Homo-oligomer: A and B are copies of this chain.
Amino acid sequence: MIITFGEMLLRLSPPGYLRLPQTQTLNFSFGGAEANVAASLAFFGKSTGFVTGLPDNDLGQMCKAELRRWNINTDEIVTRPGRLGIYFCEKGVSQRPSKVLYDRSGSVLSQMQPEAFNWERILRHAEWFHFTGITPALGNNMEKAVLDACRTAKKFGVKISCDPNYRRNLWDRQTAENVLSQILPYVDVLITNDGCADEVFGIRPAKQSSSDELFPEDYRSVAEQLTDRFGIKTIALTIRKSISASCNRWSAVLYDSKKLYTSLEYTLQVVDRVGGGDSFAAGLIYGITEGYEPSLILEFATAASCLKHSVEGDVNFVSAEEVLALVQGDGTGRILR
């Protein structure tokens, strides 16, 4: 079973491209980086479990019900009195960016003791453990919980992946760097993007091929520096070139301490880019656990996250067959009958 650990949030979005002051209804869904990864893996057909803390009220129960609907094991979810974090999300379009308003402080997970989770039981038979930097960013308790989980995973030989996912409204850069520097040495696979390595660790491309634009090859030095600094063998970086909120170019690189693999680049008409990185992480973990070749791992992850941008909400409602069809070159959008 692939285990992910993190916070689940209620997402409230105005319909279409309406801004918050224009709407009388909000679309209601659930998300959260690690739940998104678990959902995507479950849709690909993997056995997955999600570990979190939820409030012992209707919203907490609805989270669990939704996780079950996504075919995710919920046995190790802990419920406590408290609140569920919320975020409001206006979808951007053209030159207007998406805008996220968080109302997550004081959430039940952030208030939980690290001992609330029985990592021995959770990870003993696990195949993989994944989390993002958002979990330790929730405070000292969750920082400790992540470290406990990583140590336990290592003990049982469970592979660990992490997406640092820096959020400046949760912690400052310095704290993030300190905490992540303790955690990353446990990590086998680091999944991040072109901006995050620079923002948190000051790691940036050694040189730039052209003045205007970065090319995948430019990211080799970023991967090498991350490998050198934290001893992580596998580094994957997504590369987003935002033409506008509606049009992005999207590709990725994978570095396995030896070779840098570069993916196809997709031009995306963006329906919803929240969860784009999570769907990439899910694709990567899928490819690795399925035993794909590195280049196919990378193409699968990139195609999976390409498709995510065409799906509303946080979660990538896409099957492995659909991803493979895109990998095999059918991105033309002809009707499937």
Contact = CB atoms under 8 A, between A and B. Distances in A.
Contacts of A19: 311, 317
A121 interface: no
A313 B245 CA distance: 19
Nearest to A70: B65
A12 B330 CA distance: 25
Nearest to A65: B69
Interface string A269-313: 111011000000000000000000000000000010011011111
Given A69-B66, A269-B247, A310-B93, A98 B26 contact: no
Nearest to A92: B333
A59 interface: yes
Nearest to A337: B100
A57 interface: yes
B16 A24 contact: no
Nearest to A240: B334
A13 to B, nearest CB: 10
A23 interface: yes
B94 A268 contact: yes
Interface string A11-26: 0100111111111111
Contacts of A243: 332
Contacts of A334: 97, 242, 245
Nearest to A89: B335
Contact of A20 (B18, B58, B86, B306): B58
A99 B23 CA distance: 24
A248 B244 CA distance: 14
Given A101-B57, A244-B269, A273-B335, A24 B20 contact: no
A96 B310 contact: yes
Interface in A54-110: 57-59, 61-62, 65-66, 68-71, 83-84, 86, 88, 92-103, 105-106
Given A20-B62, A242-B333, 15 more contacts: A17-B310, A17-B312, A21-B62, A24-B24, A24-B28, A25-B26, A57-B101, A68-B68, A68-B71, A94-B268, A95-B266, A97-B334, A97-B336, A169-B337, A244-B332
12 contacts: A18-B312, A21-B62, A83-B103, A86-B103, A92-B310, A94-B268, A94-B271, A96-B307, A242-B334, A244-B332, A245-B333, A245-B334
